[in-house]
Amino acid sequence: MMQSRTHTCNQLRLENAGETVRLVGWMENVREVGGSLAFVVLRDFYGTTQLVVEDAALLAQLKGYNKESTIAVDGVVRERASKNPKLPTGDIEIVPEKIELLGRCRYNELPFEINRSREADESARLKYRYLDLRNPAVKANIILRCNVIAALRSAMLAHDFLEITTPILTASSPEGARDYLVPARKHPGKFYALPQAPQQFKQLLMTSGFDRYFQIAPCFRDEDARGDRSPGEFYQLDMEMAFASQEDVFAICEDVLPPIFAKFGTYDVASKPPFRRIAYLDALETYGTDKPDLRIDLTATDVTALFEGTEFAPFANQTVKAVVIDKCKLTRKQVEKLLTDCEVQSGSKGYWFKTDDKGALAGGVAKFVDAAKAQALLHLAPDTLVVLATTTKMAGVEIKTFGRACEGHMDKERYEFCWITDFPMYEIGDESGELEFCHNPFSMPKGGLDVLLKAERGELDPLTIMADQYDLVCNGVELSSGAVRNHDPEIMVKAFELVRLGEDDVKAKFPAMYNAFCYGAPPHAGIAPGVDRMVMLLAGEDSIREIIPFPMNKNAQDVMMGAPSEVTQKQLDELHIAVTAKEDA
């Protein structure tokens, strides 16, 4: 017996005919026939079973219950006259002898039909998420998430990693995004921060003598939402290895992830190791992005030479990239519609021309293109579309958009992984106009202290320094960033000096890490694939909110719980906080 039932709503089969059973669940639907008979669908976590109510008293009782009320049913299993081969329980039905109301639904109308909740407005789904989760299709994503996390945990333990939890209340540190701050009641004017990642703690574990660490880590970042990023919190498979190199990290990921993607994914084909490796600058040059979708066979080609001395003003003195799409059957109207979509995504203008069925240039900007030069440079076959871009981002968006739209250029039903390597250590900040860390300040620069000293002396451009850093990308989605860490205090201080922060600043911002490294730290490396993004890909979903049990909306609001919310003046006083109203503009 399971709890207060003998069977679940997905368990009974024809061989159970004649048995007296007890089922519990939600009354999903009632269909009355002729006033003396009713067919009821009973649903629990596991599935559905049909009830056939033939007793007038029980039918009258059911009429007093709204749909989605929870009930217990005692009855006899019998073979269905009209079987439903689509249901595991489609060969049987239950004839109730007793029905007990367990939890009444007090509303005649639901915010949406449970089995069609995914068609409802997202705000309604999030407000009534507990109803949305009753939809078996929505529930399946959460079950998938549980199974994937269990498989990840099992695989990491099998590779001799220890699962160690790290603090949630910690100190604020500059890691690239805004912190969520928590006021410290016992320390007026001071704040804890929720961790953007367990970055420093996992490195400290390496200095503590732990060889392999992992956890399914909650991370908190005050960021804007997008399709593959949830505001507020997310989870990652955080891992770190002592005395390890980039190759060690790659080997673990390439061993752990493909079997999980092949087993749990919407598609059952996943890249086999070793994953393809693409240098960051090469990825931008070839694919227009550092997150290429390798299921698409299109690439970008530099055709600046094709437009030297051109009269076409948008291409004058510009780098021009071309994406060549053979056997393309799109109409002019379709091409221009897709280019408009690309322009919205990239913020820059796109152009095109094509070859007709005889190979002659036509359409778009064809009149500005030298046919002989174009043929020599691009080897254009008949019925070929060429889309053009003057920015790297536009070229990347064109590859993605036209690759999906043009038949034969995307092998959708597979998972294609790649490593993006050799990221720049530094960049010029958009706001500051000065040298800043490009990604992770804790990464080891390729070349170590020597290249930093050369940059300091002006012997090389610091923008040419590469970091021992890497991203894991799958189907155009960045799953993770990782790096070989900078474990040497001298190299760390020198790396920060190039961005105008001295040794005292490093000690002040990262006191524990700096001091720990001074006691002898092992070389170490790690990575942290995003669990939410991973499950989103496995489920074949376009929005990350579909695989999170209780997600926030795009404005970082939990409309179900009413968070963020105001608090009482007493709470504010205890925390030594005053809320000041913004002045009207």
Summarised one tens digit per residue, pLDDT across range 133-168 is 999 999 999 999 999 999 999 999 999 999 999 999
Q: Is the dihedral of CA 195, 198, 199, 201 positive or negative?
A: positive
301 Cβ neighbours under 8 A, 6+ residues apart: 321, 322, 323, 324, 377, 378
Residue 506 near residue 451 (C-beta atoms within 8 A):
no
Q: How far apart are CA 391 and CA 314, in angstroms?
A: 12
Query: DSSP assignment, residue 371?
Result: H
Judged against a pLDDT cut of 80, whether residue 532 lies above it is answered with: yes
Could you tell me which residues are beta bridge partners of residue 170? 193
pLDDT score of 228:
74
Alpha helices, H only, 434-568: 448-456, 489-497, 503-509, 511-517, 531-539
* 530 within 8 A of 234, measured Cβ to Cβ: yes
Topology (CATH) of 296-405: Gyrase A; domain 2 (3.30.1360)
User: For the chain, what percent of residues have pLDDT higher than 90?
Assistant: 92
Token duo for residue 179: 């912190």
> For the domain with range 139-276+416-547, which CATH number is right: 3.40.1000.10, 3.30.930.10, 3.30.460.80, 3.90.870.30?
3.30.930.10
Q: Are 516 and 202 in contact (CB under 8 A)?
A: no
Percent of residues, the chain, with pLDDT higher than 70: 98
Q: How far apart are CA 481 and CA 292, in angstroms?
A: 15
Residues 6+ apart with CB under 8 A from 118: 125, 135, 137, 138
User: Would the pLDDT of 3 be above 80?
Assistant: no
Residues carrying CATH 3.30.1360.30, the chain: 296-405
Q: Would you say residue 582 has pLDDT above 90?
A: no
The pLDDT value recorded for residue 174 is 66
pLDDT of 519 reads 97
Give the mean pLDDT of the chain. Answer: 95
Pick from 48-62, 239-253, 425-439, 483-497: least confident: 425-439
Query: In the structure encoding, which two tokens stand for residue 558, read together?
Result: 């939990």
**What's the angle, vertex CA 563, arms to CA 559 and CA 568, rounded to 5?**
140
- Coil/strand/helix, residue 507: helix
Q: Where in the chain is the domain with CATH 3.30.930.10?
A: 139-276+416-547
Mean pLDDT, range 107-127, rounded to an integer: 96
Q: What secondary structure does DSSP assign to 552-576, as a single string?
A: --TTS-BTTTTBS----HHHHHHTT
Tokens encoding 341: 């979509």
Give pLDDT tens digits for 333-363. Answer: 999 999 999 999 999 999 999 999 999 999 9
Pick 163 or 232 by higher pLDDT. 163
Locate CATH 2.40.50.140 in the chain.
14-103
CA–CA dist 321, 305 (Å, integer): 10
Q: What is the pLDDT of residues 415-464, one digit of tens each?
A: 999 999 999 999 998 888 999 998 888 899 999 999 999 999 999 999 99
Q: Which fold has domain 14-103?
A: OB fold (Dihydrolipoamide Acetyltransferase, E2P) (2.40.50)
Tens digit of each residue's pLDDT (9 = 90 or more) over 372-401: 999 999 999 999 999 999 999 999 999 999
pLDDT tens, residue by residue, 22-47: 999 999 999 999 878 999 999 999 99
Confirm if 141 and 541 have CB atoms less than 8 A apart: yes
Q: Is the pLDDT of residue 226 over 80?
A: no
What does the pLDDT read at residue 175?
60
pTM, rounded to two decimals:
0.92
Distance (Å, rounded) from C-alpha 61 to C-alpha 66? 11
Check residue 583 and give its pLDDT: 56
Name the band, by pLDDT with cuts 50, 70 and 90, for residue 584: low
Four-point Cα dihedral 366, 368, 374, 378, nearest 10 = -60
Coil, strand or helix at 271:
coil
Structure confidence at residue 227 (pLDDT): 67
